[in-house]
A and B are shown apart, each in its own frame.
Chain A
Amino acid sequence: MEKRLIKKESLAGVIAELAGKMRVCAPMQAEDQVLFRVLEPSERPLVDFANTKNAPKNFLFPRTETLLKYTRTPKGMVAAGGAEEGMKTLFFGCRPCDARSFKLLDMLFDQEKYQDPYYIDKRAKTTVVAMACVHPPYTTCFCTSVGGNPTDSEGADVLLTDLGDQYLAEFITPKGEELLAAFGGTPAGVEAEKAKEGIAAQASSEIASTVPAREAKPVLDVRFEDPFWSTLHQKCLACGTCTYLCPTCHCFDISDEVKRNDGIRIRNWDSCMFPLFTKETSGHNPRPSQKERWRQRVMHKFRYYVDNFNAIACVGCGRCVMACPVNMDIRKIVADIVKL
């Protein structure tokens, strides 16, 4: 693996230059928050930030995405082309939790049978440059409880670590190595590696929240029917913010839109928190109240995903905890489940 040292002041410029050559998505200040968004050519990204309010999944699995197009003929609507091809993309500044979310999404969208061509196309054309959390940014961070680590490279093609006066850049995959020329820098020696090891140990120890996420699975396996579920959901507003900000939530709806003689079939993010999500035409709803919807959300992440993919569908970013308008806290919920 190629390792380089990059001068601190040069990094934003390197990314800005790349933004003129390909689609670059990166953290940017937007009023009082930091959002992950597409850079304009030569726009400089933030290099010093906590994490982005939104998860980067939007650029692999967009909020709204055209699946196919059609047009009216005398015999009915007929197909008139597919979606636009994805373009070469660089994700800059993903935190390790978010980089890891791509691995979890791959499990679902890139299965052996039924591959999702829209996701796979974008994923294949995307290079992920992650930024290690030297100091985990929030007290709500709990990546180490769900299989991640603040300085881990899982899901990243290049991992940057702030060593104080410069960045250590680890070019992990062949895709990442394609960026060697653009990043420049000088070869990193043993000293830099030692520094990284120290930072990694320190960063892990700074994660303030621990959640018994792995211990929840055997309890969930036998507690589908439990009075606990009736105590959980009552303050939930069903706003869906938790699922929209979640880097691993991937449920979607498919709908049609027609203007005069042309139409598109699109998919939009959907949410298990919404009453209509499972409501059938007959009026029957297998998840009739927020109780069943919350049970589904918890079960999906900590039981069903483990059954199907041997992974917890949570990266511990803490976004759902921070954004919930009524302070639902997945860390406490999981901790309570383990005590059942």
Chain B
Amino acid sequence: MQNPYVPAPVEVIKIVTEVDTKDIKTFRFAFLNEEDEAAFQYLPGQFGELSIFGKGESPIGIASSPTQKGYIEFTVQRAGVVTSALHDMEVGAVMGVRGPLGNSWPIDYLAGKDIVIVGGGFAFTTLRSLINYMIHPDNRSRFGKITVIYGARNPGLLIYKDELEAWGKRDDINLNVTVDKGDATWKGREGFVPTVCKEVAPSSENAVTVICGPPIMIRFTLPVFFELGFSKENIITSLEMRMKCGIGKCGRCNVGEKYVCKDGPVFSLAELDKLTKEY
């Protein structure tokens, strides 16, 4: 019997500090055992338990795309015991990853449709995974138009800056990056994400929107998409809850009868409507 509580050992092979405040970093891990790497078959939207012996575990969305071979990436904010220990690590350190856990963005459902990605702040990690997955040459033809609306409070808090620049140069992504308030060097768009969504006004015809961000952003963005004609089935998001086991046993991440760890974290708005409002 495979033991789902045992993490696969990984080595930290790259660390990127994403933001000016230095409290959000992207960690790239390489598996130490080939069989663990082969077993870690994931899709965008899934998560892993980052496991540091002596500190504990933290459930974090996978930021890399399965089309990126040889490593996995997680973008992590320094917050509690485990993420602080992770932030103190250097390249070459060895730790563990359990997973992949949870469901994923509904790739088969997204296929053949226009995709509108809406992200806010640091909640852009599994969306980045999805974007990189969709624009991979093997997959790009499976998806229609890709529109990305991504915002942060200020330019220094945008993550994946190099990729944003690269995506901006492509003609098969309609990329809209915005900040609440720019600074002296900022030449891009200013404005809150819901406002920008209204301005960009993506068509809801054969389209799905995938939204991740702080609750306040989601609250004001949803009405915009309802107005654009998106049905609740075609608005998809990802939930967060406190987790321990990640496999539906330890009993704390349930929303109604569903466990966010194994039945989620990805739900459509139509699915969330059927659940209790306790998250």
Q: Which of A36-44, A85-93, A125-133, A248-256 lies at the binding interface?
A: A248-256
**Of the candidates A265, A278, A303, which one forms a contact with B53 in the assembled complex, judged by CB atoms under 8 Å apart?**
A265
Whether A282 and B79, one on each chain, are in contact in the complex, defined by CB atoms closer than 8 angstroms, is yes
Task: Report if A280-B242 is in contact (Cβ < 8 Å); known contacts: A68-B5, A82-B3, A304-B254.
Answer: yes
Query: Are B53 and A79 in contact, CB atoms less than 8 angstroms apart?
Result: yes
Nearest B-chain residue to A61, judged by Cβ: B249
Known A-B contacts A75-B94, A278-B242; the reply to A251 vs B3 at CB < 8 A is: no
Q: Which residues of chain A from 85 to 141 have any CB-CB distance to chain B below 8 Å in the complex?
A: 108-109, 111, 113-118, 120
Give Cα A267 to B249, complex, Å: 12
In this assembly, does B201 line the interface, its C-beta being within 8 Å of a C-beta of chain A? no
Report the bound CA distance from A113 to B53 in whole Å: 25
| Nearest CB of chain B from residue A84's CB, rounded to whole Å | 14
- Residues of A contacting B96 in the complex (Cβ-Cβ under 8 angstroms): 79
Which residues on the A side are within 8 Å of B137 (C-beta)? none
Interface assignment of A231: CB less than 8 Å from any CB of chain B: no
Which chain B residue shows the least CB distance to A119? Answer: B249
Tell whether A67 is near chain B: CB-to-CB under 8 Å: yes
Given contacts A272-B251, A304-B254, contact A252 B244 (CB under 8 A): yes
Contact B252 A278 (CB under 8 A): yes
Within 8 A of A (CB), among B1-34: 1, 3-7, 9, 11
Q: Is the CB of A77 within 8 A of B53?
A: yes
> Binary interface profile of A, 240-278, with partner B (CB < 8 Å = 1, else 0)?
000000000011111110100001010100101000011
Summarize B's interface: helix, strand, loop or mixed.
loop
A234 at the binding interface (Cβ < 8 Å): no
Q: Decide if B108 is an interface residue (CB 8 Å cutoff).
A: no
Output the nearest chain B residue to A118 by Cβ-Cβ distance: B5
The reply to whether A120 and B57 form a contact with Cβ atoms under 8 Å apart is no
Decide: B94 and A278 in contact? CB cutoff 8 A.
no
Residues of A within 8 A of B11 (CB): 75
Is A304's CB under 8 angstroms from B256's CB? yes
Nearest-Cβ distance from residue B71 to partner chain A, whole angstroms? 17
Query: In angstroms, how far is the closest chain B Cβ from the Cβ of A68?
Result: 6
CB of B93 within 8 Å of the partner chain? yes
Give the chain B neighbours of A115 by CB distance below 8 A: 1, 4
B55 partner residues in chain A, CB cutoff 8 A: 256
Q: Does B279 lie at the interface of the complex (its beta carbon under 8 Å from any beta carbon of A)? A: yes
**A67 and B252 contact, CB distance less than 8 A:** no
Q: Does B188 reach chain A (CB closer than 8 Å)?
A: no
- Most-contacted residue by chain B among A70, A73, A286, A299 (CB, 10 A): A286
Cα A253 to Cα B253 with chains together (Å)? 12
The answer, yes or no, to whether B38 is at the interface (CB within 8 Å) is no
Select A253's contact among B54, B92, B95, B250, beta carbons within 8 Å: B250
**A308 closest partner in B (C-beta):** B257
**Least Cβ distance of B213 to chain A in Å?**
14
Find out whether the CB atom of B54 lies under 8 angstroms from the CB atom of A70: yes
**Interface residues on chain A, number (Cβ under 8 Å):** 51
Give 1 or 0 for each of B225-268: 1 = CB within 8 Å of chain A CB: 00000000000000011101101111111111100001000000
- Indicate if A76 sits at the interface (CB-CB under 8 A): yes
A223-251: which have CB < 8 Å to B? 224-225, 250-251
B52: interface (CB < 8 Å):
yes
Tell whether, in the assembled complex, residue A251 and residue B251 are in contact, meaning their CB atoms are under 8 Å apart.
yes
Query: Is residue A307 within 8 Å, beta carbon to beta carbon, of the partner chain?
Result: yes
Check B242–A76 contact: CB distance below 8 A.
no
**A281, B80: Cβ atoms closer than 8 Å:** yes
Q: Are A79 and B9 in contact (CB under 8 A)?
A: yes
Give every chain A residue within 8 A of B52 (Cβ-Cβ).
Answer: 76-77
| Cβ–Cβ contact A76 & B6, under 8 A | no
CA distance A294 to B243 in the complex (A): 19
Complex: how many Å from CA A116 to CA B3? 7
B249 contacts A68, CB within 8 Å? no
Residue A331 interfacial (CB < 8 Å): no
Complex CA–CA separation, A253 to B244 (angstroms): 7
B93 touches A254 (CB 8 A): no
| Nearest Cβ on chain A to B240's Cβ, whole angstroms | 7
> Bound complex: CA of A68 vs CA of B51, how far in Å?
12
User: Which chain A residues in 269-320 approach chain B with CB under 8 Å?
Assistant: 270, 272, 277-282, 286-287, 292, 296, 299-300, 303-304, 307-308
Q: Is B276 an interface residue (CB 8 A)?
A: yes
> 26 A-B residue contacts at CB 8 Å?
A68-B5, A70-B53, A73-B94, A76-B53, A77-B52, A78-B94, A82-B6, A114-B249, A116-B247, A117-B1, A117-B3, A250-B249, A253-B250, A254-B250, A256-B55, A265-B5, A272-B252, A277-B242, A278-B242, A280-B240, A281-B80, A281-B83, A299-B256, A300-B251, A304-B254, A304-B256
Which A positions have Cβ atoms within 8 angstroms of B?
67-68, 70, 73, 75-79, 82, 108-109, 111, 113-118, 120, 224-225, 250-256, 258, 263, 265, 267, 270, 272, 277-282, 286-287, 292, 296, 299-300, 303-304, 307-308
> Which residues in B have some Cβ–Cβ distance to A below 8 Å?
1, 3-7, 9, 11, 52-57, 79-80, 83, 89, 92-96, 240-242, 244-245, 247-257, 262, 276-279
Shortest beta-carbon contacts, A-B, top 3: A77-B53, A251-B251, A307-B257
With contacts A70-B53, A255-B56, A303-B257 known, what are 16 further pairs, Cβ within 8 A? A77-B53, A78-B9, A79-B6, A224-B277, A251-B252, A252-B245, A254-B56, A263-B53, A265-B5, A270-B251, A270-B252, A272-B252, A281-B79, A281-B83, A287-B278, A300-B254
